[in-house]
Structure formats: structure tokens, C-alpha cells
Amino acid sequence: MRALLCTFLLGTVLISPLAPALAAPSCGTGSFDGWLAAFKTEAVGKGISEKTVDAALTGVTLDNSVLSRDRGQQVFKQSFEEFSGRMVPPRLRRGSDMLKRYGSVLGRIEQQYGVPGPVLVAIWGLETDYGVNVGKFPTIRAIASLAYDCRRAEMFRGELLDALRIVDRGDLAPAEMHGAWAGEIGQTQFMPSSYLKFAVDFDGNGHRDLLRSAPDVLASTANYLASYGWKRDQDFAPGTANFAVIQQWNKSEVYSKTIATFASQLAKEP
């Protein structure tokens, strides 16, 4: 969901870990397989293990459906009333249930990061229906396709390197990484760069798992907001400092206002 609203605003080879890194491969030049071969060498040269590079990138092919989606985006035209009226009411009851179900976890998260449970649950519900719809696109393939394409090559080359680093540090295996077409991962849709910066192991199992662990998902989302200056025990209505933080989550004012409205309604639920 965030990709839809944000983006308009804003060959297998042998690799020697001792070989010098190639210059970053130019977007859209030559075949995808040739580009990928050069990228593999670049990734190893930047400290990503050969094992990870081979496991994640061997056999990856260009996904033209991802490129079509990226080029075919249209400006989001729904008003706040239209969008919030469509998105919030169907998710309100389950959101209230999630507040109760994870009340203890959310309380500990608020104590540590200062972000209240209703805000986190609102984001969770709007992004993926509380983890039900995380996306089905293979993340590595999607990002590699966007990195090869010249529209936003530099951005997505960085995201591809960060996706490999997630694998390298043991959080997720390449085959587990499925999400939105633009590369967002997990139940609140983190890009790989945000996953690396903000994901936390809140359930204490040794992995930052934003696909399956609700405590990790909620705490990581709180960590993201706190890192952008969330102010504890203060309002988050439009015009406040905390609303400006919500806009760091999603720069669309319609989406940000919907998060704030949804969270306010959840906070009033018995």
C-alpha cells in the first residue's frame, strides 16, 4: 500500500572474494544476465559473502511485470474522505482486537520507544491487513529488476545490496523474502534499507523477523518512528510534531491523515 502512495511523490558466475570489485554496472546496458554477473562481483567487493550472493542471485531473472508496474503508476487522486472511508471502517474491529491481543507487547514497546499502540496497529492494518497481505513478489528478483532498469537504478541498486545484507546477517533466507512489487518486506512494509536500520529483535529469538513475528514488526515500526523524533505522550493530530513524524512514514498527506484518524479511533475503542 505504501508503495502505491509514495513512489509518485518522491547468469551464474564464479566469484573470487579476492578479486577486485568491478565498477557499479551501468543500468540497462547489455543483457540482464551480464548486468547481474557484474553486480555479483560488486556485492562481494562490498563485503557481502560469496555464499549469500550465490544463494540470493543465482538464477534470478528479469521481471518485466515489475517494470510495467513501476512505469505505469498514476498519481493518487482519492481525497482523504474517500480513502479513509474505504480503508478504516473494515479494519477497525480487528484493530481493536489486535490492541487487546498484543496489549502487553504494545505496552512494553511504548515504554521503550514512546509510540502508542493505536498508532502502530493503525499502520499495521493499513499496510497489510495485520500481516495477511504482505505481497507475493520475490523480493530479490523484484529489486534486481528495478536496479537493472534505468528509471531509479541507483536507489534500487542500494536496496539490492541491503537485501543481500539482510540475508548475510541471518535474518531471512532469500526464498523467504516475498513482498510488494517495489521491494517492501514484512507486515508493515519496510524497504531493505529501513529493515537494516530499524528492524529489532523484540521477541528475543535472535532474528529480526518482520514477516512472522508480530512483536518484531510492531517494535521495529516504533523504532522507525522514534528515530524520526516521535515525542512521547504528545498528540499526533495533523499540525503536530508527531504528525510530521507520521509523514516520514508516508509522505502522502492523505495516507498520513488516515493513519492518524485510524489511530485516534482505535484509542477510543473500549
Half-sphere exposure of 86 (CA within 13 A, CB side): 7
What one-letter code names the amino acid at 85?
G
Please tell me whether residue 190 adopts helix, strand or coil conformation. strand
C-alpha cell at 230: 516521535
Residue 259 has pLDDT above 60, yes or no: yes
pLDDT of 74:
65
Q: Note down the domain range covering 100.
A: 80-134+202-268
Residues 143 and 69 in one domain: yes
pLDDT of 15:
32
Residues 130 and 142 in one domain: no
Element (H, E) at 12: none
Q: How confident is the model at residue 11 (pLDDT cuts 50, 70, 90)?
A: very low
pLDDT of 75:
59
- What is the number of domains present in the chain? 2
Buried b / exposed e over 24-61, threshold 16 CB at 10 Å, is ebebeeeebeebbbbbbbbbbeeebeeebbbbbbeebe
CATH number at residue 145: 1.10.8.350
Q: Which residues are catalytic?
A: 127
Residues 8 and 121 in one domain: no
Residues 141 and 172 in one domain: yes
Residues 10 and 100 in one domain: no
Residues 42 and 89 in one domain: no
pLDDT of 77:
79
Residue 177 has pLDDT above 70, yes or no: yes
Buried b / exposed e over 170-180, threshold 16 CB at 10 Å, is ebbebeebbbb
pLDDT of 2:
55
Q: In this predicted model, what pLDDT tens digit does every residue of 58-117 receive, in sequence order?
A: 999 999 999 999 888 765 778 999 999 999 999 999 999 999 999 999 999 999 999 999
Residues 64 and 99 in one domain: no
CATH number at residue 249: 1.10.530.10
> Considering only CA atoms, which of 26, 69, 59, 49 is closest in space to residue 157?
26
Q: Mean pLDDT, the chain, as a whole number?
A: 90
Q: In this predicted model, what pLDDT tens digit does every residue of 17-54 receive, in sequence order?
A: 333 444 556 776 689 999 999 999 999 999 999 999 99
What one-letter code names the amino acid at 26?
S
Domain boundary pick from 147, 174, 195:
195
| Strand ranges in the chain using DSSP code E only, listed in sequence order | 137-138, 178-179
Q: How confident is the model at residue 56 (pLDDT cuts 50, 70, 90)?
A: very high
